[in-house]
Amino acid sequence: MADTATAEPTAADDGRVKTWLALGFIFTLAWLPAGAWDALIMAALALWFVIGWKRIGLWMIWRRSLIAWPFALAALTLAIARPGAPVFQFTIGGQAITATDAGMVAAATVMAKSWLSVQAMLTLIATTHFSELLTALAALRLPPVLILILGMAYRYLFILQEEALRMLRARDSRSASIPGQPAGRNLFWRATITGRMVGTLFIRAYERSERIYAAMLARGYDGRPVTATQPPLRPTDYFALIGGGIVCVSLIVIAYI
């Protein structure tokens, strides 16, 4: 996602290393038990150090991470679902609901883990070109056909978006009114038009995919995804992996001792 990146990836950063480190960090977070605040705080500090080091902008990462909050809020149900000592009670529709201490700790832990995980992925995306991510996924033995689908989806998503915007522009250009006549008919009619536009966009996308497939065939595509040879990791990459691994293991040790 070079388009949205705020930090330019450097030659020293191998996309595979960054992807493995980000995934390792997220798996480590998942492994931490409920209430492991020391480990969670250290994980946050480690991540924010990297964000600062790479000059990505902590505020930007935090702002973008808000997208995960609606999902994290689902964790709030843990506060009332997990058994434990009652902390407070409230009533919904005549039904008394009790939040427990263990439930609140579990909910807060899940929310903290979700927030940090999203920040780790945003950091990865902000410093890694999409093609590098695909290379990293290939190195992780993701099926080549899935990588091909991801790559093409990324490439053509923007084309489809532009096509949709052009259709909307055409609709707006003919959304006119004349004096003394109410314009725009009614909501149902406008919704119908929008539905037809979506259908038209789908047909165009389908036909475009047929043309692209024909162009791929013309250039020798025979159903087997083609992936570029991956260069070997350099010593600095191994150092980064070892350093990241030590941090992850340390977090788990701190959480369980």
Tell me the C-alpha to C-alpha distance, in Å, between residue 247 and each of 12, 21, 44: 20, 10, 12
> Closer to other proteins at the Cβ: 184 or 243?
184
Site string for other proteins, 120-159 (x = CB under 8 A): ----------------------------------------
| 171 part of the interface to other proteins, by CB under 8 A | yes
Give the interface segment with other proteins, choosing from 51-59, 144-152, 178-186, 249-257 (CB under 8 A).
178-186
Phi, psi angles (nearest 5°) of residue 92 = -125, 120
| 234 part of the interface to other proteins, by CB under 8 A | no
C-beta neighbour count of 256 within 10 angstroms: 11
| 1 part of the interface to other proteins, by CB under 8 A | no
Phi, psi angles (nearest 5°) of residue 95 = -100, 125
Beta strand 86-92 with 95-100: parallel, antiparallel or unpaired? antiparallel
Residues 200-229 that bind other proteins (CB under 8 A): 200, 203-204, 207
Q: What DSSP state is assigned to residue 87? A: E
| 197 part of the interface to other proteins, by CB under 8 A | yes
Minimum gap (Å) between residue 59 Cβ and other proteins: 23
Minimum gap (Å) between residue 175 Cβ and other proteins: 5
Q: What DSSP state is assigned to residue 178? A: -
In the chain, the amino acid numbered 104 is M
> Closer to other proteins at the Cβ: 175 or 230?
175
Number of H helices, E strands in the chain: 10, 2
Longest dimension (CA), the chain: 78
Judged by CB under 8 A, the residue of 33, 52, 86, 184 near other proteins is: 184
| 187 part of the interface to other proteins, by CB under 8 A | no
Residue 27 token pair: 């798996």
| 174 part of the interface to other proteins, by CB under 8 A | yes
| 169 part of the interface to other proteins, by CB under 8 A | yes
| 161 part of the interface to other proteins, by CB under 8 A | no
Tell me the C-alpha to C-alpha distance, in Å, between residue 73 and each of 70, 126, 233: 5, 25, 40
| 181 part of the interface to other proteins, by CB under 8 A | yes
16 touches 139 (CB < 8 A): yes
- The residues binding other proteins (CB under 8 A) are 163, 166-167, 169-179, 181-185, 189, 193, 196-197, 199-200, 203-204, 207
